[in-house]
Amino acid sequence: MRLASDLVEAVVFLDMMLTSRLVELDELQNYIAAKMGWNGVKQARTAPALAVTGSRSPPETRLRLVWVLEAGLPTLLVNQPVFSLHGQLLGYPDGLEPETGCVLEYDGEDHRDLQHHTSDNDREERFEDHGLTVMRATRLNLGRDKPALIARMRRTYQRAERRDRGLDRWTLDPPHR
C-alpha cells in the first residue's frame, strides 16, 4: 500500500488482500502503526479507512472510490445480497447505498459475453422491479471522462433519493429458514 502510485491504488490493493483473506485489517493496522519514517507510510495508514472486504475486482474498488471520494456520495455496501420481501434473492450489486436504494454496477470486459450480458440485464430488471435505482459503468467511464461519470453518479443518486420508498419491495434481511 505504501508503494502504490496513489491512495486509490493502495485501497485497491488492500481490498483485494482483504477479500482474498490474505490479511486481517486489525493486524495490518497494528503493523502499520508501529512503522515510522517509511516512504508512503502515511498512505498505508489512510487506506484501511476506505477499504472493504468483498470487492470482486480492482475496477469495482476504483468505481466505489470515485463515488465516495470524488462524487462525495455516501459509503456503499459491497456485494451484499439483496432480497425481495418474499425472500427471493434479487442479486449481489457491486455497490448499494441502502438509504436511497441506489445500485452501482461495474461492467468489465467479461460482461460483453452474451450470456453474462443477458444475466446482467435480468438482474438489473429484478432490482428496478423491486424499487432500486441502477447505474452501470465501464472501464471507459472510469478512464476517459471522469467528470461525466461523477455527474452521472450524482444524478442517479438524486433520482434514487426522490423515488417513492413506499414502493420498495427489497430488503437486505435474508429470508427466515
Note the pLDDT of residue 89.
95
**Burial zone of 17 (CB within 10 Å; 0-12 exposed, 13-18 middle, 19+ buried):** middle
> Does the pLDDT value for residue 177 go beyond 90?
no
Note the pLDDT of residue 94.
96
Q: Are 96 and 46 spatial neighbours (Cβ–Cβ below 8 Å)?
A: no
Exposure b/e, 114-128, CB count within 10 A at least 16 = b:
eeeeeebeebbebbe
User: When comparing pLDDT for 38 and 49, which is higher?
Assistant: 49
- pLDDT 10s digits, 165-175: 999 999 999 98
pTM of the predicted protein model: 0.90
CA triplet 99, 103, 109: central angle to 5 degrees? Answer: 160
Three cell numbers, residue 78:
459491497
Note the pLDDT of residue 112.
66
How far apart CA 67 and CA 111 sit, in angstroms, is: 21
- pLDDT 10s digits, 98-151: 999 999 999 976 656 667 677 878 899 999 999 999 999 999 999 888 999 999
How far apart CA 150 and CA 142 sit, in angstroms, is: 10
